[in-house]
Chain A
Amino acid sequence: MPFVNWLKRHLVVIAGLLTLAYLLLPNVVVTVFSFNKPKGRFNYEWQQFSTDAWKDPCGVADLCGSLSISLQIAFWATLGATLLGTLIAFALVRYRFRARGAVNSLIFLPMAMPEVVMAASLLTLFLNLGAQLGFWTILIAHIMFCLSFVVTAVKARVMSMDPRLEQAAQDLYAGPVQTFLRVTLPIAAPGIAAGALLAFALSFDDFIITNFNAGSTVTFPMFVWGSAQRGTPVQINVIGTAMFLLAVLFVLTSMVVGSRRSRKTS
């Protein structure tokens, strides 16, 4: 029974590809429906092909404004979380100190906590302090929950780094600052970049924590949430599709550049 044997041998591959299809199906729908011309306020049923939304992505009130706020917050949150997280990661890997266990737990807990719990407790704090909810409270919250992820990513990289490399740099007349800039940082860079990318994605896409602490500020996910109640403009799908394509393009380019660079040196 050649077919049964073939099926047996490739069962994992088939199952895996089905899962991949499950993962990608919504993106296909989002893309297809970005060319829809819905009848009512909601873009859930296919009507007819149109490129109207693509021609005018900012044609809906507040959409591009919210997108811009999300990008700004994601940018600053990435910067803040990457900076603070990298420092923590270096301290954890490179030094012994008291309270190491406590620090590790404090890093781990935000990742093991449902978002809604963090969101609610942070709001309690802001309410108690009488803080004005808005851009700054969102940014604070985003840095908080991105921090642990950056620490984890950078830590993994720095841990796999041979401590002899830094000793070699010192041995070759590089002082502490030079050693850090010339050796430690470049070698840790991929870990830091991975952490930063993760932070950006997490921040840009966050809804639950933002929703609690945003006040009247509307980020892109909050705009989408609101429109799910009031009516979904096609432009949402346009933005979603564009972000997806940009991400794929970005990764592909960096991969091509990376492989070309390594080919050039070999």
Chain B
Amino acid sequence: MTTLTEAPPPLAPAASEPKPQRRRGRWTPYWLLLPGILWLLVFFALPMIYQASTSVQTGSLEEGYKVTWHFATYWDALSEYWPQFLRSVAYAAAATVLCLVLGYPLAYLIAFRAGRWRNLIMILVIAPFFTSFLIRTLAWKTILADGGPVVGALNTLHVLDVTNWLGWTAGDRVLATPLAVVCGLTYNFLPFMILPLYTSLERIDGRLHEAAGDLYARPVTTFRKVTFPLSMPGVVSGTLLTFIPAAGDYVNAELLGSTDTRMIGNVIQTQFLRILDYPTAAALSFILMAAILLMVTFYIRGSGTEDLV
């Protein structure tokens, strides 16, 4: 007699376990997709085409616009607003890095160290969402107010001297400086970093830490060689979820910044809603979209987590 195997039976190969598919259900997926996809095509994809078309139109509000393939709009827009573009990328990048540095410990804390406090901390991370982010951003005006305790403390600790030297702040003010805008961006998009980080950290088997320790890895090495690599999917999606909206944001720059901290979102908003120069606004928005898609694509390729999407 052969010995009985104690292990569960090997899984049947994929071919013997297909999804039930009946002839008459062939059209079902298309019916299910139809309304939602149609919605996205009409109100997401089609607008992109309209926008592309608008960006190469010329004319005026009074006489109407016509497609004249006037690509010079792109050139003009770029040459006029490249500082805002660069500033957007720089601020968004700074906010993303700050979010990662600040968010990782908290995500780690929730995933491995919080114990029975885990749910409570999760709630506290999510609940601020329900207070309008505009109200919360306005609160930073109070926190960073001139002569307030925070600015006073930074002044006493000579932190402001350093940031002044770096050009992040000006004088003894924090409000209306790049620092305030980056601080606001970081604050606003921090939960978008923490949640994906937490999700991927939580999936890590705690025994891996023990195994690493057993194999002579000190805690720092364990983190560097085991925990962090395994949390990469969370890091990638977290940084994307932070960087993309931050790069297009104009609320923080408007509420916490000054005219010197205007980001590309501010320009698009002004062009579109106040100056009503639609071709320029459309071109700017198109460039922003292209730049972000390009960066995202390279980033995902580079980090080797293409299955993320």
Question: Which residues of A are interface residues toward B (Cβ below 8 A)?
Answer: 12-13, 15-20, 22-27, 29-30, 33, 44-45, 84-85, 87-88, 90-91, 94-97, 103-118, 120-125, 127-128, 140-141, 143-144, 147-148, 151, 163, 166-167, 170, 201, 204-205, 207-208, 211-212, 220-221, 224-225, 228, 232, 236-237, 239-241, 243-244, 246-248, 251-252, 255
Which of A17, A104, A247, A252 has the most chain B CB atoms closer than 10 A to its own CB? A247
A–B pairs, 29, beta carbons within 8 Å: A12-B113, A26-B136, A26-B137, A30-B139, A44-B141, A87-B36, A90-B32, A91-B33, A95-B21, A97-B30, A103-B37, A106-B44, A107-B40, A112-B244, A113-B289, A117-B285, A121-B50, A124-B47, A124-B51, A140-B43, A151-B36, A163-B20, A205-B130, A208-B249, A224-B132, A225-B134, A232-B138, A236-B138, A240-B132
Interface residues on B, range: 35 or more
A20 to B113, CA, bound (A): 14
Contact (Cβ within 8 A) B19 A96: yes
Q: Would you call B138 and A110 a contact (CB within 8 A)?
A: no
Q: Known contacts being A116-B269, A140-B43, is A88 close to B292, with CB within 8 Å?
A: no
Chain B, 265-279, contact with A by CB distance < 8 Å: what is the 0/1 string? Answer: 100110011000010
B124 interface residue per 8 A CB criterion: yes
Residue on B with the closest CB to A14? Answer: B105
Partner among A44, A110, A124, A243 whose Cβ is within 8 Å of the Cβ of B40: A110
* Cβ–Cβ contact B32 & A87, under 8 A: yes
Q: Which of A91, A108, A110 has the most chain B CB atoms closer than 10 A to its own CB? A: A91
Q: Is the CB of A19 within 8 A of B123?
A: no
Report if B151 contacts A (CB, 8 A): no
Shortest Cβ gap from B183 to chain A (Å): 9
Interface centre among B43, B121, B241, B296 (most CB of A within 10 A): B43
Residue from B29, B39, B309 within 8 A of A104 (CB atoms): B309
Judge whether B136 and A30 touch: CB under 8 Å.
yes
Residues of B within 8 A of A (CB): 19-21, 25, 28-30, 32-33, 35-37, 39-41, 43-48, 50-51, 54, 102-103, 105-110, 113, 119, 121, 123-143, 145, 187, 190-191, 240-241, 244-245, 247-251, 255, 265, 268-269, 272-273, 278, 281-282, 285-286, 288-289, 292-293, 296, 309
Quick one: which of A120, A144, A204, A232 has the most chain B CB within 10 A? A120
Ranked nearest first, the 4 interchain pairs of A and B with the lowest CB-CB distance are A114-B248, A16-B109, A15-B105, A84-B36
Nearest CB in chain B to that of A107: its residue: B40
Residues of A near B282 (CB, < 8 A) are 120-121, 124
A167 to B19 Cα, complex, angstroms? 9
Which listed residue, B25, B124, B125, B268, touches A120 by the CB 8 Å rule?
B268
In the bound complex, do residue A25 and residue B190 qualify as a contact, i.e. CB atoms below 8 Å apart?
no
CA distance A114 to B25 in the complex (A): 38
Known: A13-B109, A87-B35. A26 touches B268 (CB 8 A): no
**Is there contact, CB below 8 Å, between A248 and B19?**
no
**One of A19, A30, A113 near B244 (C-beta < 8 A):** A113
CA gap between A241 and B255 in the complex, in Å: 20
Q: Are B265 and A247 in contact, with the CB atoms below 8 A?
A: no
Cβ–Cβ < 8 Å partners of A13 in chain B: 109, 113
Contact of A26 among B43, B50, B139, B309 (CB under 8 A): B139
Give min CB distance, A247 to chain B, whole Å.
Answer: 4
The closest CB in chain A to the CB of B24 belongs to A176
Q: Which of B48, B107, B128, B272 contacts A24 (CB 8 A)?
A: B128
B36, B102, B119: the one contacting A147 at CB < 8 Å is B36
The listed residue (A23, A91, A106, A207) touching B124 by CB distance below 8 A is A23
Contact across chains for B273 and A91 when beta carbons are under 8 A apart: no
CB closest residue in chain A, given B175:
A44
Nearest Cβ on chain A to B110's Cβ, whole angstroms: 7
Q: How far is the CA of A232 from the CA of B48 in the complex (A)?
A: 36
Please tell me if the beta carbons of A19 and B248 are within 8 angstroms of each other in the complex: no
**Pick the contact of A228 from B107, B249, B255, B268 — CB < 8 Å?**
B255
Question: CA–CA, A22 to B21, complex, Å?
Answer: 52
User: Chain A residue with minimal CB distance to B45?
Assistant: A106
Report the bound CA distance from A26 to B124 in whole Å.
12
In the assembled complex, which residues on chain B have CB atoms less than 8 Å from the CB atom of A20? 106, 121, 124-125
Instruction: Give the nearest-CB partner of A200 in chain B.
Output: B130
What residues of A have a CB within 8 angstroms of the CB of B130 in the complex? 201, 204-205, 243-244, 246-247
Q: Is the CB of A221 within 8 A of B134?
A: yes
Residues of B within 8 A of A141 (CB): 43
Kindly list chain B residues whose C-beta atoms are within 8 Å of the C-beta of A33: 139, 142
Q: Tell me whether A116 and B288 are in contact in the complex, defined as CB-CB below 8 angstroms, given that A106-B40, A122-B43, A224-B138 are known contacts.
A: yes
For residue B50, give the distance in angstroms from its CB to the closest CB of chain A: 5
Q: Is the CB of A23 within 8 A of B250?
A: no
B139 contact from A29, A108, A118, A205, Cβ within 8 A: A29
- A22 contacts across to B, CB distance below 8 A: 102, 187, 190
Within the complex, which residue of A19, A220, A224, A239 is in contact with B102, where a contact is CB–CB below 8 Å? A19
Contact of B134 among A103, A108, A148, A224 (CB under 8 A): A224
